Amino acid sequence: MAWGNPMEIIDRAVRGGYAVGAFNMHNLETTQALVRAAEQANSPVFLQVGRAIVPHRGLRAAYEMTRRVAEESDAELVIHLDHGPLEEVYEAIKLGFHSVMFDGAHLPFEENIKVTRRVVEVAHDFGIPVEAELGKIPDADEQVDWSSYYTDVAQAERFVAETGVDLLAVSVGIVHGVPMSSPQPLDIERIEKIREVTGIPLVLHGASGVPESEIRAALAAGVHKFNADTDLRHAFRAGMEAVWSEGDRQLEEAMAEGRERMIAATVEKMRLYGCADAASLAAAA
């Protein structure tokens, strides 16, 4: 196979006016679902090793599982570390991840700049792009004062200028998970302003449950990578429950149906983001 180049994929998305999907895997079957969706949709994809699988399997085991599945495919694939703390980012670089996200959003602003700048220096020495996050993203249905959660435009401008990050994840009304109540409308104007002052592609985490009209508006405003997980997990779960609703069945049968439904849900996301049929011919060769 030919691994995808993360920033080439993002740069193509910017030029083509679409966004790339970034999705988390949780086991072998969900990893296979993401890869097969990329094959079916002829789409690049970021395979994200995230905060659920790392405590469950360990970073190395999660990476090795993802790599084994990916190496069986001709799709344009990137293995990406999602929401990594400092030591985990450095381990991911050593393991061979293609891109990393260092999450220093919990740090005081000045310290976040300092630590992120060092991460960028190290990662760039290995040719690995860095995504960072500014602002806070609450869990679904958590009651928050959004004014203290949104990414500050002026801070974003300074943060990007002083750290040299390649991608910036922003808080503009999204949440982790799918809210049961009416979701907070996305602050599209804030996305436009951040994109204008930073000059780099933006990332929207928590894209599950966001209305399609707002996804398209965010894309037009400067978001070129969407992270989604919950919608795909729900599809996998629905497949398993459908099998077990028929009575006692083998676990493998249930997971196989979950995998099929997750493939379909992932392809649907790729079409929404516009990255379907956008895989590089070079990567597929």
- Give the annotated binding-site residues: 83, 103, 133, 176-177, 205-208, 227-230
What are the binding residues for Zn(2+)? 83, 103, 133, 176, 205
Please check whether residue 238 is in contact with residue 260, taking contact to mean a CB–CB distance below 8 angstroms.
Answer: no
User: Which member of 11, 74, 82, 277 is catalytic?
Assistant: 82
CB atoms within 10 A of CB 246: 9
Backbone angles phi, psi at 248, to 5 degrees: -65, 120
> What is the DSSP code (8-state) at residue 20?
E
Q: In whole angstroms, give the CA distance from residue 88 to residue 167.
A: 19
Contacts of 268 (CB under 8 A, 6+ apart): none
- DSSP letter for each residue of 235-277: HHHHHHHHHHTTSS--HHHHHHHHHHHHHHHHHHHHHHHT-TT
3-class DSSP assignment, residue 199:
coil
Query: Could you confirm whether 166 is annotated as catalytic?
Result: no
What are the binding residues for dihydroxyacetone phosphate? 177, 206-208, 227-230
User: Which amino acids are annotated catalytic?
Assistant: 82
